[in-house]
Amino acid sequence: MKILFVNEYDLSRPVSGAEYSQMALVEGLRAVGQAVEIFSPGWKKNQPGRELSPLWFNNLFYYLYSAWQISRQKFDLIHVHGKYILPGAVMAGWLMSKPVVVTVRDFKFL
């Protein structure tokens, strides 16, 4: 099974503990033989220590763009780790008839 981990933040440039815990889960799953790929839109403004307005992520364009980007990947399951990319991931899962699992790691805006 190929699992696609989805987060709005690039894990190579973590911005909070959520990205570190997601990487620990990726490493653990890979250690037991699971195929795990990581997807992030990779926005240029997504830099360590730089805050982006929730409006950057919380808009229809972002939802549609992320759904399109995610649906271009090859996977069996989507595991979402970000609240802003969740709508796009759910749309991609629905369009591709793939299951979607969500782990909420950041309760700041909930």
Residue 109: C-alpha distances to residues 4, 9, 48 (Å) = 24, 16, 19
14: burial class by Cβ within 10 Å (0-12, 13-18, 19+)? middle
Residue 53 DSSP one-character state = -
Instruction: Evaluate if residue 14 carries a pLDDT over 70.
Output: no
Instruction: Evaluate if residue 49 carries a pLDDT over 60.
Output: no
Distance of CA 100 to the CA centre of its chain: 11
Region 20-46: mean pLDDT is: 85
pLDDT band at 109 (very low <50, low <70, confident <90, very high): low
**Cβ neighbours of residue 47 closer than 8 Å, sequence gap 6 or more:** 13
> Where is average pLDDT lowest: 5-9, 34-38, 55-59?
55-59
Give the domains, in start order, of the chain with CATH numbers.
2-102 (3.40.50.2300)
**Cβ neighbours of residue 26 closer than 8 Å, sequence gap 6 or more:** 5, 11, 36, 38
